[in-house]
Amino acid sequence: MSKSWVYAFAAGKADGDASMKNLLGGKGANLAEMSSLGLPVPAGFTITTEACVHYYQNDKTFPAGLEAQVQTALANLEAVTAKGFGSVENPLLVSVRSGARASMPGMMDTVLNLGLNDQTVEGLAALTGDRRFALDCYRRFITMYSNVVLGVSHHGFEDILDDHKDRLGVTVDTDITAKDWERVIADYKAKVQADLGHDFPQDPQDQLWGAVKAVFGSWMNDRAKFYRKMHDIPEDWGTAVNIQSMVFGNMGDTSATGVAFTRNPSTGDNNLYGEFLLNAQGEDVVAGIRTPQTLTQKAREEMGERNPSMEEALPAVFAQFRSTVETLEKHYRDVQDVEFTVEQGKLFMLQTRNAKRTSRAALKIAVDMAKEGLITPQEALMRLDPGALDQLLHPMLDPKAERTLIARGLPASPGAACGKIVFTADDAVRLAAAGDDVILVRDETSPEDIHGMHAAKAIITARGGMTSHAAVVARGMGRPCVSGAGEMVISTERGEFSARGQTFRFGDIVTLDGSSGEVFKGSIRMIEPEFSDDFHQIMTWADEFRTLKVLTNAETPADARTAIGFGAEGIGLCRTEHMFFDEDRISAVREMILADDEAGRRKALAKILPMQKADFVELFKIMNGLPVTIRLLDPPLHEFLPHTPEDIKLVAEAAEVPEEKLLKRTKELSETNPMLGWRGCRLGITFPEIYEMQVTAIFEAACDVKAEGFDPQPDIMHPLVATREEMAKLVAMTKAIAEGVLKARGVEVAYKVGTMIELPRAALLADKLAETAEFFSFGTNDLTQTTYGISRDDSGRFLNPYIEKGIFEKDPFVSLDPDGVGQLIDIARTKGRTTRPDIKLGICGEHGGDPASIAFCQKVGLDYVSCSPYRVPVARLAAAQAAISAK
């Protein structure tokens, strides 16, 4: 039996279903499912993703049998619709759309009204009795096909249309007559001839295969590749192609097209949300060409709109539509994003998919659906993207701050942002790469702007609605967005916009509030966010299911308090060197480095001890009853010294030492490869007085807070240990000092001494280290560097090319390498627990806040992860998901 490349759906039955997304793509699988449910879906068929994969693996050729299967499916479609593809008397027109297994809104190509030519357009006009409608469809088809398939810029067609509108004195397409459309079409065809040297294609079969190739081709366009990279979508998935009989929303005032969400994708409120346009086709809504109308009367009244809602303009169809989308939400058990068309009073469903939503909305929807009994709490947790919680954990506009409103649009994607305005996606990328916060300002965005939208802190558009390209993509990215700010007159050429009598130019600062749809002049003060009951409910459920503890990386009281507020269960990494860089103590550190002997070093360290002790007192109080893992001094000493002639002179004067001595010491301490040099425990062994001072400060602080009724739980961590002898010596030194302080003070404090595993040798000999070490914390930043032989600070030149060429799947400094670094961790876990079954194990690198890395930690049986304070909720949720997935 030959391989099936084509799957049909029509009239209440289908060859596929919703479970076949890998083969049919999300759109094709859901069209098949809706058809099987008996919903009003225009008949059609899907060319599988496997055909696309074959296309790219075989020099862009179609697989054997595909063309014959398409012709059979097309003949069946003609039979179902009682129309003929290419027939002049009763033409079948089709749409050709992409559809990958993962939703990629706007990233790939679509062609509508395919099958029209100079003859079939006359047949469509005669059949419908509406010549203006038929010509409107034809001009749309020429524009879309020429752009998507033939590569002719759509801007040229827009210029032609604008010229005709100016000539006729009209502003909207619906005011253009049939006779005027004839002139527009003639000019469109002349442009194709002028640009390409040949006429616009007239054979419907040629049109169809050209469109199929274009959709396959769009899988590898720049914006699709960028989107896949941003969302970790594999390149070898390919896209399906959906060929579907056209239904027309542009057949007069009983026809319409729209986009809807079964719940609000910005807030999560359980209200039907979306927009529609009377007498329009689908691209009019998402492209922002016309300002859409609301779906419900309630939404219209809330937004102060005058034009009637769909509920008021088409009440019978709206009632059927509401019932249909409620059915879809219950069936899929998730919020649905649907596209629909009404053709002369008859409803058709063109697409349904699980809706993209903001983090705030995702929380509310997950909690609400669990409370409604539609899903379980475990499913609610698994529905959420841990990384997207970042949207909720950062500041918002201070309601008390003064502000000057310069424009108002639609609240398309919530959140607040401030930055320099730019008018092109390329400028957004350029300024962001230079470290600037930028706001991308456009008349309307298009898929070509995706790289600039990603680089920008927020987006503002003058046109488009709540379901425009800008709104949908911004919500998916977690970027604040104000769309449809029509009072802004934007000139991309001049790099400026005007609003309310003021002009703002490239680089000027504005602030926007995507939750209110407002744009303000200048920079406005931000405040910390307030967390909803839904956030706390999700965190409560997460804590019920997770088994990994979540600690934080913190060395300042502010960071420690923030982390506790986010639910941290202790400090997994306190970097003491960060404390040394404070202005009031760096001079004493330099005095210690410049000392000629141990006595001089001890004298300088005595000045630092009370400062260190004060630091630990605060941290122990904040973390009362929770572990505080303190890493002793790690970086090489030369990092504390100046290096430029100007800085050397200033420091020498402040320290009252000769410049020559400072310069000589700096040169003595310089290293060819400091990452592998005189740092970490090597400092503590050669200059033991440094670690002795730190350990003394830790335990004196612990005694002080214990006397005040607090419960300090210090864990002393020695960095960069490689040998059993190093570990034994360091543990003995630490315990001798600790016990001496505790005995002198008459206080008992429980504590542990361990090491940070940062070297492959340490992982391989973990059983030897565990003879004296009571815990291992995997320093995955350095362990990744030493395993790969890559300097994190110097890898930027080749990491991206490596990822693009498929050598690395991900940046190993962002997401833990499970095969190499992960294997070392697993070896260390096994060997460490063989020697010491109760040894405490965790990670404390940047990977501690990465969901994929947390899943690995769960898999190998670590006890905890430690991450930056703002990543704590992310880690709590990711840990719960890892535990649920492991069952």
Task: Judge contact between 540 and 549, C-beta under 8 A.
Answer: no
d(CA 361, CA 488): 28
Q: One of 681, 844, 857, 867 is an active-site residue; which one?
A: 844
Looking at residue 25, its amino acid is G
d(CA 184, CA 173): 11
Q: Among the residues of 656-710, which ranges form H helices?
A: 659-669, 681-686, 688-707
Question: Residue 405 is inside which H or E element, if any?
Answer: strand 405-408
Q: Which of these is catalytic: 454, 469, 638, 847?
A: 469
844 is catalytic: yes
Spatial distance between the Cα atoms of 579 and 617, rounded to a whole number of angstroms: 13
User: Which tokens belong to 865?
Assistant: 């992860």
549 within 8 A of 570, measured Cβ to Cβ: yes
One DSSP character per residue, 490-534 reads EETTTTEEEETTEEEETT-EEEEETTTTEEEES---EEPPPPPHH
Half-sphere exposure of 576 (CA within 13 A, CB side): 29
207 burial via Cβ count (<10 Å: 0-12, 13-18, 19+): buried
Residue reference for tokens 């009763």 = 90
| Beta-strand runs (E) in 307-355 | 336-343, 346-354
Tell me, yes or no, if 469 is annotated catalytic: yes
Query: Which stretches of 333-401 are DSSP H helices?
Result: 359-372, 377-382
Tell me the CA distances in angstroms from 337 to 122, 319, 329, 470, 560, one per residue in order: 35, 18, 10, 16, 41
Give the C-alpha separation, 92 to 204, whole Å. Answer: 10
For the record, the structure tokens of 201 come out as 């294609």
Residue 102 makes CB contacts below 8 A (sequence gap 6+) with: 26, 231, 233, 237
Q: Is 718 helix (H, G, I), strand (E, B) or coil?
A: strand
What does the alpha-carbon distance between residue 655 and residue 650 come to, in Å, rounded to a whole number?
Answer: 9
Q: Which of 242, 292, 313 is nearest to 48 (CA)?
A: 242
Token pair for 191: 């442009």
Q: Report the distance separating Cα 828 and Cα 763, nearest Å.
A: 5
Of the candidates 550, 365, 561, the one whose C-alpha atom is nearest the C-alpha of residue 475 is 365
Residue 620 · residue 699 · CB < 8 Å: no
| Residue pair 272/296 in contact by the 8 Å Cβ criterion | yes
Residues identified as active-site: 469, 844
